[in-house]
Amino acid sequence: MANLHWLANPGRFLRIAKAVSPVLAGLTVVLLAVGLALSLQAPVDAVQGTPSKVLFMHVPSAWMSMFIWGVMAVASAVALIWKHPVADIAAKVSAPLGAGFTAATLLTGSLWGKPTWGTFWVWDARLTAELILLFLYIGYIAIWQAIEDPQRAGKAAAILALVGSVNLPIIHFSVDWWNTLHQPASILRDGGASIDASMLIPLLLLAAGFQAFYFTLLLWRMEAEIAGRKIRQLRLLSAQA
């Protein structure tokens, strides 16, 4: 972690972010365009029929919903232990992205469940744990909005991010630990992926595109947040002068 120390300097971070973000943005556009085009052309599952198309939006969203909370938890630990201001900002600006992907996961899952399972919603362990993740995101965002002082807000939010990370293994393993209506994992499982290459390739391209999208937005939002804090301080200083 010590080698991350040099990134804690906001000036240096901003210079790197400005150099990297155009490359990431370009990569995002290419991956999403190719992934989307291939997903629309991909064949449908023999048993499920056309509703299996929802897979291409549901699975990458679900992965992002968990990945982003993971990033927030790691950034929060770094912020709490090493007092890195940039880590605090990374966690804060990630939350709306994670909340959006969690909402997308629940909504697309619902639209997938109705024509296949026969219901929009059931209270099984997987679905309930994902819904709890949405509430965790909302709580996290609410803390930042409710506490005015960024130092205190950051500390309280960081603790929630760490506590909430307990939910991540529960979401992932819920389908193995308990009887659920939700099927087990298709890709991250023993014995390799159980998805035919014609569907797996577009899915993985879209998943990579969603990842690149997150990191692009993360860099832009961090720059906007750092600039916003500078503006607040400059105004405070000129008011005091």
Partner 1 sequence: MNALFDYLAMGGFAWFIWPAYAFTLGFMIWITVATVRSLRANRRTLEQLEQAAPHRQRRAQRAATGTAEVQAP
Partner 2 sequence: MTRKQQRMTFVVAGLGALGIATALVLFALRDNIVFFYSPTEIVEQTVQVGDRNFRIGGLVENGSLQRVDANTITFIVTDMKHTVPVSYTGLVTSLFKEGQGVVAEGRLGPDGRFVASQVLAKHDETYMPAEVVDALKAAGEWKGN
Binding site for partner 2 (CB under 8 A): 43-49, 52, 55, 77, 80-82, 115-119, 122-125, 162-163, 165-166, 170, 177-181, 183-186, 189, 194-196, 198-199
Instruction: Report the interface residues with partner 1, using CB under 8 A.
Output: 10-11, 36, 44, 49-51, 53-54, 56-58, 61, 83, 85-86, 88-89, 96-97, 100-101, 103-104, 107-108, 111-112, 114-115, 150-151, 213, 217, 220-221, 223-224, 226-238, 240-241
Task: Decide whether 146 or 237 has the Cβ nearer to partner 1.
Answer: 237
For residue 42, the minimal CB distance to partner 2 (Å) is 8
- Pair of tokens at residue 77: 């630990």
Task: Decide whether 47 or 239 has the Cβ nearer to partner 2.
Answer: 47
For residue 14, the minimal CB distance to partner 1 (Å) is 10
For residue 230, the minimal CB distance to partner 2 (Å) is 27
Q: How far apart are CA 133 and CA 99, in angstroms?
A: 8
Q: Which does 11 bind (CB under 5 to 8 A by kind): partner 1, partner 2, none?
A: partner 1
Helices (H), 3-149: 10-41, 55-82, 85-116, 125-146
Radius of gyration of the chain, Cα coordinates, nearest whole angstrom: 20
Reduce the DSSP state of residue 241 to 3 states and report it.
coil
Task: Decide whether 41 or 179 has the Cβ nearer to partner 1.
Answer: 41
Residue count of the chain: 241
Q: How far apart are CA 156 and CA 80, in angstroms?
A: 10
Q: How far apart are CA 152 and CA 91, in angstroms?
A: 14
For residue 170, the minimal CB distance to partner 1 (Å) is 24
Reduce the DSSP state of residue 167 to 3 states and report it.
helix
